[in-house]
Structures are given as structure tokens and as C-alpha cells.
Structure 1
């Protein structure tokens, strides 16, 4: 379990065993049941995490109750409502567990102390923010330039096993279409 977390961190920057140890010492493991929330909309976030096992999604819910899935976050993903956390404002979205999940959590205050003691942690932060920005930019481009079937094909390529783990209405909300439209696309593709 810890080895997988270290592997996730080292995808972004090569930290020493001592530095990894400092990180894990100020972290804790927390379990989440399906449909529970890591962060709720309207809450001021004070933590971020790394998904050890399980699956989460970032989801906006309109006043009418309509869901808009922003992203799916499987094992090895860093999860947070980071902009709300750093500005000490409320999150606009939920981070919902879709399966039994285990997350390594670090408080924002502990993270700030860690970065102040060792500037190499800022490199990890920059790498994570760059990755997040790149994903956001790519997703926006797909929504602006591609049709729903093309977006679905990209979803299948990027998340090859996720379709078996996620309900169809959640995939539809991720693609920006209705479940009926997704059914038609799947039928046309022979899925």
C-alpha cells in the first residue's frame, strides 16, 4: 500500500526516502464508503489526499439536482479542491467515493509546514498543478471541438477499465450528454 503511494509521488519528482518518510509521518489513512464524500460542495477544504485503493469522482450538482462529473480519480490520483483550499473558500464541487476506498490524507497546515521545511516539496506541487492544468485544458478542448462519440472513445482509451466500475449515467454526465444519448453511441459502436 505505502509502496504504491510512494510510486505515485515519484511519478512527479524523485524524493529521498527521508523526504517520503517525513510526508507519510504527517499523513493518515482514511477509509471511505461508496457515496461518501472526501469533500462536499459548500465546505472549506482543509486537506488533500492520494487515492490508495478505490475510485472517486469530482461532481457538480445544480440547484435542480442535475449532476456534472468533472473527472474520475482512480488509484494513485491526488484529490483535492485545491483552489478553494488555498483561498479558504468553499468548494464548488463534491469529491465522491464511488467504491470502498482508502486515501492517504494530509492536512493543508501540515503540507504548508512540510513545504516551508523543504522547498523540494514545492517541485511536487508545481508538477501536480501542471498535470492538473494540462488535463483541464485537454478536456476543455475536447468539449469545444469534438462530438460526443469522439469524447466517449477518448474516455475508453484514457480509462480502459473504468466503464466496468462506473454507472452509465455518471459516464454520460462526464461526457456532457444524457444516458439515452450514451446508450445510442454505445449501440452504434457495437458495445
Structure 2
């Protein structure tokens, strides 16, 4: 159930991008549902054409892909109040090239994208939020790309721990390692070095 406290928390988070009115928030509420999901639940499969946008209320999710040899690579890790979907696939209405799954038990808000687009076209504050959020997403991707190119593995790991302090207790080591573009053995060495 979407409670008043939840609406306020979401409004506070959204306001970082653009201050949406309570009226618009309640219209958004009408096109959403709250889902309680177990760890390991697939939200979107490779090949799906997505029609939902997700907001994490509690828990952690990730996007990942699997190469032709069957090896997994974590593309992104999503934390509470992050908004995510396969944006490339949902905007272009093409099949997604990644899986989207829960890493832990999660509570997520699921919004129908087509209905969201209709609201966006009718309400200028939702439209302004939309573009502000997409601009922020582009900036986040720039930072992530720079980290991958300029930071060593230890620095990337420390940056991830700063974003998600309890990451080591939440998800398996191999998933953290693939997100950092290193092997689990390398991650184990980094952790050992930091603990000494």
C-alpha cells in the first residue's frame, strides 16, 4: 500500500530533480502498484519489451547481462528511492539487452510507462521532472564511465561502499566483483588489504 509517509519520501526524492505538485503525485499514484518481492525475482528478462518503471522503496536490485560463455556482468546496482528500467528499451520500444532482478527482498513501486507518458504530456511539472531526471541519469553514467577508466579496483570498491555502506552483507561477492569489473579473487584481496 502506498502510504502518506511513502508519498512524502518519494516527493522529497523527486524534488531533488524537480518539485512535483501533490496533485501530480496523486495522479502518479493512480497508475502505480506496490509489490513485495523475494530476492532473485526477475523484473525484466533479456528480450522483453518493458512497459514498467520501478522505484525501490526497500531493498536492492541490479541490472546484468550474460555473455555467450554464460558469465554474468552486473551493469548497475539500484538502492532505495532509485528509479530504474531499461530506459533504452522502454523509450525505443525494443527488446531489453539486460536482466533486471532483485538482489534482496524488496518493496518496489511499479509504474505503467504508457500511462506515465500520458500524464507527462498533460502536466508540465511531471514533464520537467522527467527531463531533469534523464539529465541526472546521463551525468551518473558519465561519472560511472570515468570511474571505470580512471580509478583502480580498490578505489572503485571504496566508492561503491560509500554509496551502499552495507554492500558486503547484502549480495554475493561475485556480483560485487562483476559490477567493479574485477574477479572475485581480486575483490577478496582488496578486502583483505583494507582490513590490515
TM range (shorter): over 0.9
Q: What per-residue deviation string (whole Å, max 9, x for no partner) do you get for residues 84-129 of structure 1?
A: 0111101111111011111111111101110111122111111211
TM-score using structure 2 length: 0.92
Matched, 1:190 2:195: yes
Pick one of 64, 67, 71 that aligns with 2:69. 64
User: SS in structure 1 opposite 2:43?
Assistant: strand
TM-score, length-scaled by structure 1: 0.94
For 2:31, the equivalent position in structure 1 comes to 26
- How many residues matched? 191
Q: Which blocks of at least 5 consecutive residues in structure 1 are unaligned?
A: none
Q: Could you tell me how far 1:65 is from its partner in structure 2?
A: 1.5
Q: 1:127 aligns with which of 132, 148, 152?
A: 132
The list of structure 1 runs, each at least 4 consecutive aligned residues, that deviate by more than 4 angstroms after superposition, is none
Superposed CA RMSD in Å reads 1.4
- 3-state secondary structure, aligned to 1:104: strand
Contact 1:4–1:52 under 8 Å retained in 2: no
Alignment of 1:21-170 (within 5 A): 21-170=26-175
1:69 to partner: Cα distance: 0.9
- Provide the C-alpha distance between the structure 2 equivalents of 1:187 and 1:179, rounded to a whole number of angstroms: 12
Q: Distance in 1 between matches of 2:55 and 2:163?
A: 19
2: CA distance between counterparts of 1:36 and 1:156?
Answer: 24
Shift of 1:2: 3.2
Match of 2:3 in 1: none
C-alpha distance in 2, partners of 1:93/1:130? 22
Consecutive unaligned residues of structure 2, counting only runs of 5 or more, are 1-5
